[in-house]
Structure 1
Amino acid sequence: MSHATRPAAPSGLIPSLVGIRGVLSLIVVGVHLAPFAIAMVPATRGFFEPLWHHGYVVLDLFFVLSGFVISSGYARTFARWSGWGTFGRFLWARLSRFYPVHLAILVAMVAAVLASRAIGREIPHGGDLTWDLLRQVTLTSGWGGADALTWNGPVWSLSAEWACYLVLPLLLPLVQRLRTPAACVVGYLVACAVPLVAYGFLGFDDGTITYGMPLPRAFGGFLAGCALYQLASVGSRIPAWLGRVTGPLVALAFLTIVGVASVGLPSMLALPVVGLVVPALAQRRGAVDRLLSTRAALVGGEYSVALFLVHVPWILAGSLLINPRTFPGAWGIVGTLLLVLGAVVLAWAAFVVVERPAQRWMRRVVRRAPQAPARPVEERVEAAVEKTP
């Protein structure tokens, strides 16, 4: 195949890869809401229990998505070492996406825990004010060795992803050594195998894959996303083929999760199939892409970080007042809806009051890294939301 006819790697803002973040965040909310919803409305067990035990695979898709998107923006920047200044600006840009709202929510949690203890109550998973809190502040709670998820539990995944960012200048040149489609496919499968083999020995229990030893999960998924982007970069037609069957591929990914779960196997085993949804969406074709590119989906994607960070603290605190005792019987439906509504409202408030202003301020502090996208991804998302009818 001549160079002129080789498919190009996806570039620029891919709206559906923004929109899918909102969908995945809602699924994560459903996973953590499940035990509370089941307690208040037992009739919902048939829906929430499978989601509770098997929906965690969406976090693995988050890692794949992150590796793919970061590669699309910084593959050239970190093809070779670009200096500490460039690397520092990259890390600052990543921190601007989530750290201000994370810190604000953590401060609110500490205040809420101290206030609740003052009146003789306890917000679950408060954690201690020393080591547990320090790990949250320094984004090391997802690096393994913890005894439990404390304070804002979901932060473990952002912490593990932060570990990937810290070694990105080593990871991207390694992935870019995959210079043929076959090598990229093998690289993708090997990356997917990293968590599957590791947890085959360590165990797929919730503790191991979240706070005990989550880094194989994060690095495996992230590298898988990098390999998928490299697959497009070397001119493979596989991503274009996947783009033609995005809808069936999404259905296949869901059925694969259901299939492995139905025979008692860990849902994470579906990762090699689930991860293919990312390069398929990057082709910007089909009904699924259009659905995830709508204004509503883009807004959901823009609010996804705030929703991801705020929902567990809210559910834990809200459950002190919204529970089967205060919302008995059929009122449990109202209680469940209030927990969902509260998470959405607080996510909106966190985004408007903290995330967006802090992000804009942090962008102005340092200049953009050379060869990085012309505008930060977050800024391009805002522009896309404003333009989408």
Structure 2
Amino acid sequence: MRIASLTGLRGLAAVAVLLYHIPHSPAFQDYAIGLFSRAYLAVDLFFVLSGFVISIGYYERVVKRPSAASYGDFLLNRMARVWPLHFVVALVFLARILVNVSGDQAVALTPANIITNVLMIQSWGWGTQALAGNSWSVSTELVAYLLFPLIAILAFSRGVWLQVAGAVALLFLVAMFGHGSRGPLDVNDGNSVLPVLRCLAGFALGVTAFRVARHSLCARLLGGEHGFLGSCALLVLALLIPGGDVVAALCFPLLVIACYYDGRASRALLANPVVFHLGLISYSIYLWHPLVRDVFARVMGIAHRHGFSGFDWAFYAGTLIATWLVCWASYLLIEVPGHRAIKKLERRVVPRPPLPFQQAAE
């Protein structure tokens, strides 16, 4: 089940990360946009979205009817969704390091780094580095996938408030350690477990948000235009608080719930063809854009050395257009076929657990 507004929300979050990261290259530092100065928080929105959307698809099979078969089916589905692109991107970034595209490679090609990246466990706190910098968050989400049944069962139990309190405490813990590079929650250091804790906190809040969204009272409060616009306003106010990363992160579940109800305002902004398309290719945007940025920055530097100047805006625009084209192709040629290939293998090797309506019929 795909909620158009949630897909579009993911697309806007990916674009926010893109516009946040491009000026990190010295070549494009003049193109920094103040509106996106804290867009690293979009990663926390991804974590909340992940917990929420996964709960939509797997609550019945994993929480209400838990079994080893349903758990295995869930993990295979998640790996089919994220691993093929992660693997291809890791290989390309490995090649990038070998040919030194950006001129300054900080990741060492050690066996530990290579093996952990292939297995998607590079950011679990044992000091290994992500070959593709943004893949650290994909690695931490694997921990959330492994723990999803436990997180979901707690979210739908009487101890749900204990889980919420724990998630909020984790966010404050991550922020208070002072490891954030550009803000309290901008933590992705592979030498600690803080990135994993950051992910688990957001993911748990997303799963809990799905439980809350199923209640009629929540639908009255956050459904319709007032719910979506109100949650957006709360997020804007939170972002105005200096150092208020945790407050902003706690607004994300409200925004996700409001988008889940798919009202007219959220559909107009997030479910239109352009934003929905960006949502479909958001995973590719998130992983590929640093490489596209660095290639264009390198080409622009070469152009400057040969006296071709005054057209930096064209290189910036080219970065945006090329990112879109690369990511669209990546979605069509890597994500979709990779997912289908693993699912086809699963059907041959692992019997699919019966769906709830099939069990009811039996």
Confirm or deny: 8 A CA contact 2:9 2:279 kept in the other structure: yes
- Residue of structure 1 in register with 2:345 after alignment: 365
- Residue of structure 2 in register with 1:16 after alignment: 5
1:51 partner amino acid: F
Could you report, residue by residue, the CA deviation over 1:102-161 in whole angstroms, capped at 9, with x for unpaired residues?
2112212222332348xxx845334314222222111112212437x5410111111111
Task: Pick closer, same or farther for the CA change 1:39–1:123 going to 2, 3 Å.
Answer: closer
- Residue of structure 2 in register with 1:260 after alignment: 241
* Structure 1 residue 334: Cα displacement: 1.1
- Residue of structure 2 in register with 1:134 after alignment: 115
1:303 to 281, 285, 302: 281
* Structure 1 residue 277: Cα displacement: 0.2
- Residue of structure 2 in register with 1:169 after alignment: 149
- Residue of structure 1 in register with 2:20 after alignment: 31
Task: Pick closer, same or farther for the CA change 1:130–1:241 going to 2, 3 Å.
Answer: same
2:134 partner amino acid: P
2:87 partner amino acid: L
Name the CA distance, whole Å, in 2 between partners of 1:287 and 1:83.
40
**Greater mean alpha carbon deviation, residues 221-230 or residues 243-252:** 243-252
1:251 partner amino acid: A
Task: Pick closer, same or farther for the CA change 1:373–1:97 going to 2, 3 Å.
Answer: farther
- Residue of structure 2 in register with 1:285 after alignment: 263
The two structures, once aligned, show a CA RMSD in angstroms of 2.8
User: Gaps (5+ residues) in structure 1?
Assistant: 1-11, 375-389
SS of residue in 2 equivalent to 1:290: helix
Could you report, residue by residue, the CA deviation over 1:16-49 in whole angstroms, capped at 9, with x for unpaired residues?
111111111111111111223x64463x44x25x
2:131 partner amino acid: W
Task: Pick closer, same or farther for the CA change 1:208–1:335 going to 2, 3 Å.
Answer: closer
Identity of aligned residues (%): 23
The answer to whether the aligner puts 1:312 opposite 2:290 as a matched pair is yes
Confirm or deny: 8 A CA contact 2:174 2:187 kept in the other structure: no
Name the CA distance, whole Å, in 2 between partners of 1:153 and 1:166.
22
- Residue of structure 1 in register with 2:195 after alignment: 214
Could you report, residue by residue, the CA deviation over 1:254-298 in whole angstroms, capped at 9, with x for unpaired residues?
2311x223xxx1523311123310001111113123321222222
- Residue of structure 2 in register with 1:95 after alignment: 79
Confirm or deny: 8 A CA contact 1:191 1:220 kept in the other structure: yes
* Structure 1 residue 250: Cα displacement: 1.1
Could you report, residue by residue, the CA deviation over 1:344-382 in whole angstroms, capped at 9, with x for unpaired residues?
1211221222211121222222244444899xxxxxxxx
> How is 1:1-389 mapped onto 2 (pairs within 5 angstroms)?
12-36=1-25, 39-40=27-28, 42=30, 44-45=31-32, 47-48=33-34, 51-52=36-37, 54-79=38-63, 82-116=66-100, 122=103, 124-146=105-127, 150-178=130-158, 187-188=163-164, 190-201=166-177, 203-205=179-181, 209-211=187-189, 212=192, 213-233=194-214, 235-244=215-224, 245=226, 246-257=228-239, 259-261=240-242, 265-323=243-301, 325=304, 330-367=310-347, 368-371=352-355
Confirm or deny: 8 A CA contact 1:23 1:300 kept in the other structure: yes
Aligned residues: 345
Name the CA distance, whole Å, in 2 between partners of 1:110 and 1:201.
31
**Greater mean alpha carbon deviation, residues 328-337 or residues 364-373:** 364-373
Name the CA distance, whole Å, in 1 between partners of 2:48 and 2:114.
28
Name the CA distance, whole Å, in 2 between partners of 1:189 and 1:328.
56
Name the CA distance, whole Å, in 2 between partners of 1:13 and 1:143.
30
Task: Pick closer, same or farther for the CA change 1:347–1:200 going to 2, 3 Å.
Answer: same
Confirm or deny: 8 A CA contact 2:89 2:287 kept in the other structure: yes
User: Gaps (5+ residues) in structure 2?
Assistant: none
Task: Pick closer, same or farther for the CA change 1:266–1:74 going to 2, 3 Å.
Answer: same
Could you report, residue by residue, the CA deviation over 1:149-201 in whole angstroms, capped at 9, with x for unpaired residues?
5410111111111110011122111111048xxx65x7545423321234324
Task: Pick closer, same or farther for the CA change 1:13–1:178 going to 2, 3 Å.
Answer: farther
Name the CA distance, whole Å, in 1 between partners of 2:158 and 2:294.
45
- Residue of structure 2 in register with 1:378 after alignment: none
Confirm or deny: 8 A CA contact 2:52 2:210 kept in the other structure: yes
* Structure 1 residue 311: Cα displacement: 1.0
Name the CA distance, whole Å, in 2 between partners of 1:295 and 1:310.
22
TM-score, normalised to structure 2, is: 0.85
Could you report, residue by residue, the CA deviation over 1:199-227 in whole angstroms, capped at 9, with x for unpaired residues?
32454346971123201110100000111
